[in-house]
Structure 1
Amino acid sequence: MKLFLTFFMLAGGVIASPRSWNDYTDSLQDKMQEQSISTDTINKIFSQIKYLSHTVSKDSSQAEFIKTFENYYSKRITERRIEAGKIAWEEHRLLLNRAYKKFGIHPRYLLSFWGLETNYGKTKGNNQLLSALTSLAFDGRRRTFFEKQLFAVTRAIDKKKLPLKNLTGSWAGAFGHFQFMPTTYESYAIDGNGDGKIDLVNNIPDAVFSAGNYLSKMGWDREKTWGREVIATKNFDWKKYKEGEKKPLKDWDKLGIRKTNKQRLPRLDIEAKLIVPQGSNGALFLVYDNFNRIMKWNRSTFYAITVGRLADRIIGYSKLKKLKKEKKLTDKQVKKAQEQLKQKGFYRGKIDGIIGKGMRKAIRDFEIKNDLPVNGNMDSVL
């Protein structure tokens, strides 16, 4: 039913036009009917949906400070999380071994994803999932994506695969122990304990098997690791470094990349990329194909490195050798640097405050042009 008031207070404390919200939810109901979702399910769903302003605020807000790798990594790789991972391994050893045998994902990686996503099930999110997804879709900036997620949840509810009551998750619409988005749930979630149901929120076997199934379907190689921390000798020519370029380990060895104990790399044909999240004078990583599988879970390079490293720490690896302290950078500082580099012809991307691949290349090109040490970080520009 449409309302014809001029304004009303939506849940979450934001005043908005009811015509726009109600018209939009009416249009969603029409789309759901076109997908053969039952009228009963649609009515029950929309009797519960409310506008959640905080989800839209979180999706659209720009942080004052830009996350550096050191800041991101140190907040997530903690002794408490490492120890909790070891305890979870002991508690769920048989389950993790079954998943390893079936999907080829070593327990340490499943534990790492689990630990980073929900602290081993302790923080799964308490946002009403349907309301969060509808609010984000209504916002419009990523409407197609969030509508796709909303329809996936609705189909699962209609088929009695997901409960309508108490269905909660993150503000962005992910849910369960491993924070699956609804379309990921729809495509990859499986029954892990043979009870004929799939419950990623309350059933750990279902959650673990579903995570293993997803990574397996993404092409995880059970014979290889994710990557390793490395160091660069003085002979390594940073002027020739190209981000994303793959080379066999034996070639990286010839160029001057070494293990952190200064020993030579295995002289193998296994291809790897050199990842430089802190510039050339910080932590460096050679990463293999499984790193790309992690990136399919979350497209953040920082996240993928952190997954690999938490997995390593859970099995006893030492701390990073070359993790350096990094200065806090503001969004304003990065945008100003982008503008300056753009004016000088080094940067061609958007002025968005994001230090991405294009920005890092611009910094390296600036350093080379000005005969500066090629570090590839913001220090040179600032």
Structure 2
Amino acid sequence: MPPLPPSPSRAPVPFLAGVLLSLLAATVSTDAGADAEFARCLDALRAQSSQRGVHTTTFDTHARGLSPDMAVIGFLDAQPEFRTAIWDYLAGLVDAERVADGQAMRAQWADTLAAIEARYRVDAATVVAVWGVESNYGRNFGQRPLLQSLATLSCFGRRQDFFRGEFFTALQIVEQGHVDPERLTGSWAGAFGHTQFMPSTFKRLAVDFDGDGRRDLISSIPDALASTANFLAQAGWQHGQPWGIEVRLPAGFDSARAGRRAKRSVQEWAALGVRRADGSALPAAAERAGLILPAGIDGPAFLTLRNFDALFSYNAAESYALAIAHLADRIDGGAAHFHTPWPTDDPGLSRAERREVQRLLLARGFDIGEVDGMLGTRSRRAIAELQSQLGLEADGRAGQRLLEMLRRQD
């Protein structure tokens, strides 16, 4: 290892200038190398385009001038900064604000949703719940140009073959005129529209429900909602059936029996001592069910049925499927809380409460940026700094206790 340079406070100006110039040169060199590699990769992709169902003129028009967005590689490879507890996850996704908005959207689009339910046999509350979680009812599509993100992921990082398929499919979507290319923005990974379909999912399952000849998940709410219903129907949604049942486990229950895929008949679960959360007997259902314990044996427990599996297929995470299921129940007038509380003495915050935390942090001089209810890196750093000042564990998490403390000091 070379010797360390002098302390910056004592370094002569020429030395500092040399260091800065070296760093700048290295950055420029790295950027130039990525640009050159990206250009070579685009040439190779162009050569494959006709075999992948895309005309070369389409490729040249929409892909030739792209530059790499290397930030998406960081998103692909980065480990999450914080483990999100299930009570934090659901507190932000299934809050009173999103429930009220969902009920308003269901009323506004009642005729369309009724027609969708008649065709695809998926209830309106579930379709609206997916819409609410995926894009906050069309408010948050994602801002990254889809073709740029997918081209970058096709040329760098892991899973290049997968992203190349998505890239060519996105070009097909543009070529076929389903979505205006300038509106094709979305998540860093390529999901887009009101209900965030990947291009390959669009190709398989998107539908033209408004009859204009295009399958447009960005500009057409009927197309987006019907496409979501079609997805769930194809995933095995059972009309009129529940997604699951909150249950109470007997004392000494072996948690090794749990698992969404470890299915037993409802009668078998009953024989093991499982009851509804209110203590009553389980229904006499023929369907097989799995058991999930999102917060372990001490938290809420759920027998999950086929409709939960359909939700899981939309985004392969049990917490996500539970959020959709719970939001749909609440849009339908269900209880705000599960019968069994989460095993924590510091529950999570709704988005309104997160915005309040941000305003209180700003009032204390912390630079956290915009008040948006999204506790991103700057907000978490500020929270961790405040926790450290107060002698608390500096984990950057905001819960009810932190909010109450900020309120008292306001």
TM superposition score normalised by structure 2: 0.74
Going from structure 1 to structure 2, the CA distance change for 1:130 and 1:327 (only over 3 Å counts) comes to: farther
Task: Give the whole-Å Cα distance in 1 for the aligned partners of 2:338 and 2:32.
Answer: 49
Q: Aligned AA for 1:323?
A: P
Deviation at 1:287, TM superposition (A): 0.4
Going from structure 1 to structure 2, the CA distance change for 1:317 and 1:242 (only over 3 Å counts) comes to: closer
Q: Aligned AA for 2:132?
A: G
Task: Give the whole-Å Cα distance in 2 for the aligned partners of 1:159 and 1:194.
Answer: 16
User: Equivalent residue of 2:239, what SS?
Assistant: coil
Alignment counterpart, residue 312 of structure 2, candidates 295, 300, 306: 295
Task: Give the whole-Å Cα distance in 1 for the aligned partners of 2:33 and 2:345.
Answer: 40
User: Equivalent residue of 2:142, what SS?
Assistant: coil
Identify the residue that residue 28 of structure 1 maps to in structure 2: 45
Alignment counterpart, residue 238 of structure 1, candidates 236, 254, 262: 254
Task: Give the whole-Å Cα distance in 1 for the aligned partners of 2:52 and 2:271.
Answer: 58
Alignment counterpart, residue 338 of structure 2, candidates 279, 300, 320: 320
> What is the 5 A alignment of 1:146-225?
146-225=163-242
Deviation at 1:55, TM superposition (A): 1.8
Deviation at 1:135, TM superposition (A): 1.3
> What is the 5 A alignment of 1:1-382?
16-234=33-251, 237-238=253-254, 241-243=257-259, 244-318=261-335, 319-326=337-344
Going from structure 1 to structure 2, the CA distance change for 1:237 and 1:227 (only over 3 Å counts) comes to: same
Deviation at 1:310, TM superposition (A): 0.7
TM superposition score normalised by structure 1: 0.79
CA contact under 8 A between 1:253 and 1:267: conserved in structure 2?
A: no
Going from structure 1 to structure 2, the CA distance change for 1:47 and 1:166 (only over 3 Å counts) comes to: farther
User: Equivalent residue of 1:245, what SS?
Assistant: strand
Deviation at 1:79, TM superposition (A): 0.7
Q: Aligned AA for 1:169?
A: G
Going from structure 1 to structure 2, the CA distance change for 1:43 and 1:239 (only over 3 Å counts) comes to: closer
Q: Aligned AA for 2:83?
A: I
Task: Give the whole-Å Cα distance in 2 for the aligned partners of 1:47 and 1:237.
Answer: 60
Unaligned runs of 5+ in 1: 1-5, 329-382
Segment of structure 1 superposing worse, 81-90 or 188-197: 188-197
User: Equivalent residue of 2:183, what SS?
Assistant: coil
Q: Count residues in correspondence.
A: 320
User: Equivalent residue of 1:165, what SS?
Assistant: helix
Deviation at 1:209, TM superposition (A): 1.1
Identify the residue that residue 340 of structure 1 maps to in structure 2: none
CA contact under 8 A between 1:32 and 1:42: conserved in structure 2?
A: yes
Deviation at 1:198, TM superposition (A): 1.6
Task: Give the whole-Å Cα distance in 2 for the aligned partners of 1:323 and 1:226.
Answer: 20
Going from structure 1 to structure 2, the CA distance change for 1:242 and 1:231 (only over 3 Å counts) comes to: closer
CA contact under 8 A between 2:258 and 2:293: conserved in structure 1?
A: no
CA contact under 8 A between 2:247 and 2:274: conserved in structure 1?
A: yes
Deviations, residues 230-286 of structure 1 (Å, cap 9, x unaligned): 12132x531662433211112212212121211111133221111011111111111
Deviation at 1:101, TM superposition (A): 0.5
Deviations, residues 107-140 of structure 1 (Å, cap 9, x unaligned): 0100110000000111011110100111122223
Task: Give the whole-Å Cα distance in 2 for the aligned partners of 1:237 and 1:43.
Answer: 62
User: Equivalent residue of 2:181, what SS?
Assistant: coil
Segment of structure 1 superposing worse, 15-24 or 122-131: 15-24
Deviation at 1:150, TM superposition (A): 0.5
Task: Give the whole-Å Cα distance in 1 for the aligned partners of 2:46 and 2:345.
Answer: 49
User: Equivalent residue of 1:246, what SS?
Assistant: strand
CA contact under 8 A between 1:14 and 1:53: conserved in structure 2?
A: no
